[in-house]
Structure 1
């Protein structure tokens, strides 16, 4: 573990300044309080072979307003759990709530009975009871834990896991900070769901206006008419937005300004975790490049970038080289992808410093490509990039007519509208009111910049930039291939896989033990979906055989598709779902079963 030392003068200043902040952040664990010098092995983390966690109710204050949280050991985020590869750990989790609860160890490889998903791997933790999770630690890296019961995760029940490798770290650094990103609302998540069911765009306060049309911004009148005819909204980027969310870094809003300290010249490792319920973030440190060294806890060939998008449930480890001999603070900016809000934190050489906060950038608009229509532009005039300039004009697809007449595969344009529900493009999808669209021409977008960052003038990370640091271990070709469609009726807020909600009693997805399968995720919706599988890692197929990035969560861009190769090497029943909490709760959830041949019957 790297050294976490500071010079004596800075240490005294930090202690004095930090103590003054404790009264303002009593619901924050020591490691997450502003002015921290980095995580070590002291009282700010839980480690060893026996760890006790308590789930309970706590008040939580941000922006001067107090709300109610569900917390671990009375703090939001919960304590860091620091383990070591090869050890055995027992985690005794006590539930003091008046309802069932659970903890899922996100990304951690363990027996399925210890995975923490009620109704799938165990019955849950009843009020007043203690459940003992016990398993051997088989890996290293940055992970996290959270509730898998109801909406408790959205109310604060989450924390970080750091697992040190049995051997040396492959990258050098002098200091490390855990950075937990999240979204917080004073509106109960069940009330959010009720409003979304009533109107899918309820929280979207960034719709196009007559003023923006007259000012020459956003879409043209013809484009707006076309989108209105399809009953779709190109500004519908995030279901729940900054209109009710306060975005947090380590439990702090921008006003509280979480500050992590460093010494000039140091290499600082930031273990960045997106523990949000519904928000993907664009992350940057203006003025400093970041070198990505791990994704979802798995080491990658170091790659330098200026910004990356982190989907819900993903983790990225980055190394930041602090300039020598400076007295400069740097802003760590987490901006919601719909640009409805952001959170800033500060990296500084001494407490009390404040870094500049950049203004929110112009919100992006969805395009025909986000409908699964490739690079086609219905208007022939290009779409707005979200950065004040239009994208290059594209010709309409050959053989395709404008609204009012004509047709192409996957579309019925009669009556001036387009209904992209041609079942021939997805014969396994159960058509019904829960499937509003099927992508006619979904494309592999793993090499594309994600939503809103398409025309950024600096470097932006894509999945194809990620290469496993070590060769992929299973070199077999997949023995079979399966398609899985991500389906929805966004207007009615219905979410599913292959047109079937989990509550409809859908059968599990079966795998034979140790078989190699290629899974193609096809996004028929106009929102990104971070898809997570429990108990396994998979290789995202990015065109570099043998070095595909190994992940447990992959973000499927709107109208796009992602393929991954999975070795089903963990027996049992495992959850497989979209990690947008409302999408999962509305039905985008399945169970994967892994059985030996003799047990398959």
Structure 2
């Protein structure tokens, strides 16, 4: 990891202008509230356990991993918009676990955060989850107990909530992007929780996978139209796939529809926790042996190919289909911006940061003592040593139910942070004080070093909700807090 340490400030090639150009979306306006469940399906049984998976074909790289029902990623949970999703978790791990439904606006008791919304599920125990899926789109599930260690060992899976009127495609595919750290013994390393990494860019692996596979090859036909649902399930890695030679459109961010815009030939950034839905068109005149490499150049000197699209067979159609129609908006409450209350959220700490002291569980401590306790990031000058402390009553804010709020997220650190808010979906209003021409809905927003981002939402979901960085080493070492609604 010497290279990563020495280049912590400079190895990320994201530019703020590039990011804005690639991610700004259209404003959405829809009535608020949760849709009533239209149907109930029997519970899906999920059993997290330790096991072995193969990252390469023909057993070329078998590694120890944690899986749901023997696979990583876990099975796709697919329901129609408005239906209930029911899951029965059987914990076959040797430690406590939960499941968080990332991006799904669940009731508070279903959010899957230990000591905040439920007791942790002990080894050998079971727990039931059931909630209505009000919003169509691409979401995912993962543990929220020992998140970095459990997710980093392979515990994650996709959730697809089907639209009533989806975009017509030939195939609808999910790609869960992740990385693994493989040692010289060709086994997955278990060096989670290193404070040096947690105080820098996070724990980056050296092997990138798509749906748990290395060197992915997707075979397509000329003229085929694909819906590609990209989910970043990595604990720290930022992906930026480039689709050179292919045409297509981004149609949703974090499950929320946007006015379709071209993917272009540049980077399309996907931070940990983010999802991007693409409509990808294979050229109708592509030769039968054509190959398109989907490449990633996010980190300097660490270029790699995410996957290869290989063309074969007869053409599906001979003419391009053109720009797809916009998906129908989800039933999100539109913030009342003139009447919204603004709250400042300041993130500090980490390597090369300016934080010198912070309050750990209410006790002001110098940075050296904080680091000895494994705490190096703070939110509004506060660090909570564990979620148990939060359960005992510590909250960053207490919000009024039904009221509109603007959170002014200020990143006063040397590293970017994908900030995730549980239980709500928000609009991204501005960056560095400049209003965005197109304000998209998100549940995880990427905030650059020394950048201020304003988000707005209606606090319409009662309960206790986490606000944290989705670089999971950052969350584990202090960049995590809770808000209370109602």
Instruction: Give the structure-2-normalised TM-score.
Output: 0.75
Question: Runs of 5+ in structure 1 lacking a partner?
Answer: 1-46, 202-237, 352-465, 596-601
The equivalent of 1:486 in structure 2 is: 347
Are positions 1:517 and 2:405 aligned together?
Answer: yes
State the match for 2:216 in structure 1. 258
CA offset digits 1:72-115 (Å, max 9, x no partner): 11111111111111112311111101111111110111111111
- Aligned-partner SS, 2:385: helix
Equivalent in 453, 477, 482 of residue 591 of structure 1 = 482
Q: Are residue 196 (structure 1) and residue 196 (structure 2) matched?
A: yes
- 1:108-257 equivalent positions in 2, closer than 5 A: 108-150=104-146, 151-165=149-163, 167-169=164-166, 171-186=167-182, 191-194=191-194, 196=196, 238-241=201-204, 244-253=205-214, 257=215
Looking at structure 2, the residues matched to 471 and 59 of structure 1 have their Cα atoms a distance apart, in angstroms, of: 41
Task: Tell whether 2:77 aligns with 1:70.
Answer: no
Separation of aligned partners in 1, 2:421 and 2:74:
23
SS in 2 for 1:74: coil
Between stretches 488-497 and 469-478, larger displacement belongs to 469-478
Following TM superposition, by how much is the alpha carbon of 1:472 offset from its aligned partner in structure 2, in angstroms? 7.3
Q: 1:60 aligns with which of 53, 61, 72?
A: 53
Corresponding residue number in structure 1 for 2:450: 559
Describe the SS at the equivalent of 1:541. Answer: strand
- Seen in structure 2, the aligned counterparts of structure 1 residues 59 and 549 have a Cα distance that, compared at 3 Å, is same
Q: Distance in 2 between the 1:467 and 1:178 partners?
A: 18
Does the CA contact (< 8 Å) of 2:401 and 2:460 recur in 1?
A: yes
Q: Is the 8 A contact 1:486 1:498 kept in 2?
A: yes
Which of 86, 89, 110 aligns to 1:90? It is 86
**1:502 lines up with 2:393 in the alignment:** no
- Check whether the contact 2:291–2:308 (CA below 8 A) recurs between aligned residues: yes
| Aligned-residue offset at 1:52 | 1.1
Deviations 1:395-415, CA, capped at 9 Å, x for gaps: xxxxxxxxxxxxxxxxxxxxx
C-alpha spacing 1:129/1:526, structure 2 compared with 1 (3 Å)? same
Q: Separation in 2 of the partners of 1:525 and 1:467?
A: 37
1:192 shift after superposition? 3.8
TM-score by length of 1: 0.61
User: Over alpha carbons, which structure has the higher Rg?
Assistant: 1
Residue equivalent to 1:214: none
> Relative to total residues, which structure has the larger strand share, 1 or 2?
2
State how far apart, in whole Å, the 1-side matches of 2:86 and 2:327 are: 34
Q: CA RMSD in A?
A: 2.7
* Aligned equivalents of 1:294, 1:594: Cα separation in 2: 27
CA contact (8 A) 2:202 2:471 kept: no
In 2, Cα distance between equivalents of 1:195 and 1:589: 16
Q: Which has the higher contact order (CA 8 A, sep 6+)?
A: 2
From 249, 268, 271, the counterpart of 1:308: 268
Pairwise CA distance, 1:298: 0.4
Does 1:286 find its partner at 2:266? Answer: no
2:281 and 2:75 mapped to 1: Cα distance?
27
Aligned-partner SS, 1:191: coil
Instruction: Determine the structure 1 residue equivalent to 2:229.
Output: 271
2: distance between equivalents of 1:470 and 1:123? 31
Matched, 1:527 2:387: no
Q: How many residues end up aligned between the 2 structures?
A: 391
Given that residues 203 and 235 in structure 2 are in contact (C-alpha distance below 8 angstroms), is that contact kept between their aligned partners in structure 1?
Answer: no
